[in-house]
Structure 1
Amino acid sequence: MIKYDNPAEDNDFNCSDYCLSPREFFEKRRTSKRPYVFDLRSSEAHEEENIPGSLSLPIEHFETSIYQMPFAGDILPYGGEDGEVLTAAEILYDNGFDSFNYTDSYEALFSNADATYLTITSDAHKKIDDELQNSDELKAVQIIIEPTSPLKAIYRPELVISAQEGSIKLEVDGVEIFTERKTASYLEGTIIEINDEGHLEVRNPNLSISKLNGSLEEQIQLMLDEQVNPMLASHGGNVMLEGIKDSSAYVRFGGGCQGCSMIDTTVKQGVEVMLKEAIPELVGVYDVTDHSEGESPFFTG
């Protein structure tokens, strides 16, 4: 098994300046305007389980890929148990990157989840206590998280008898909270509160899906901002709304999507499907991009 050098021995590089706790790592990912998360483990490990939206870049290919790293944005690598991330951090530092942070290992991101990931308001805490005490069976709260993109999800609470299989457990102010491990990366920053109807509600600033309202243009723009562009960002791409005509949206792609040979599939099977499912009044989506001018397409024909 490969062991990687510890850059702490480098007099010019202090790894502790860039190391984040698991909670801080997820918080950075949640609040950054441009997070770029890289998985340094093997491609097989990444395929089996990963942080949604992370890009697989095994450590043995990291240094040769450094020229492709984004200078604008926050680079957030994570690795396995063998110190890969320390080597990656030193490579970033030596190549002039300063907007990056890392955490110890992928496993630590989940095994170290604790009460600091969640907040329960006093009203919500009382309601949970009352409902659990008045039930002979219900014992805990399961937070159901349904991801819609790497950085957006739908949250809902459910009082349960026991945890679903594959869940991790947290105890927050005396309340047992469960959530599935596979969606735990959406947990940090979550708030359990009471909504206007008096029911328990779970939301996460920056990650919760906003309710669609307003004009057709406003609804489309919200979908592009919260769901479509975070998805395209993993390929270095983006899409902008150019205008609305006859209840159809006209969009322009940029970055890795401009000139991409898969753009027709992206539009018809990706963007259009997502928008029309969320906004029934939308008739169609049309691409007005000049793809002949694309300089760095993600896929080339």
Structure 2
Amino acid sequence: MAIEDRSVISITPEAVEAILGIRAQEPDAEELALTVSITGVKGLLFTYELTFIPVVDAAATDVLQRFDDLPVVVRADSVARLEGATIRAGEGTLGIDNPNSPSPKIAAGTAELTGPLADKIATILETQINPAIAGHGGFAELVAVEGDTVYLRLGGGCVGCGLAQVTLGQGIEVAIRTAVPEVGAIIDVTDHASGTNPYYEAAKK
């Protein structure tokens, strides 16, 4: 039996109505649940799959939620990445607003930050940021500090990575600004065109 005491996603009333209308066209509709899962990454966003399965086929590790007459199964391997997401109805379609991104998460650190701004940034890179992005084969290094402007270079798997700007904007930059609020602009000076082994390769045009 799937886990039922946890709330992972939300669905707008309009989306529930639309999904129930689609389900009504299926055989044994009353026995079906909507399943939601993440299937991969495209560009800077997750890709999703929404299908119907019999409620009884939900795995024990899946999360089962109920929205009026609509049971929804969130697949176990997608739960963490769908936390806080909302399914909404658009113009003849369904959309998912997901606060999560494929960018690696950078945890808050406890290292003491003292000295000049450059020393503080170097400490954040060493103790928080590089351990987090090392799993993607990448690292970040401080190039220079001019006034309150910080110049960074990404290396390893981050060079040429299609998600580098997500990692910088939602991971590295947030971590730096949280720990060192006096920082001004944060500028990426990486030559991403030189990347030979990016963790996630940008789509070729």
TM-score range, shorter chain: 0.3 to 0.5
Higher share in helix: 1
Higher share in strand: 2
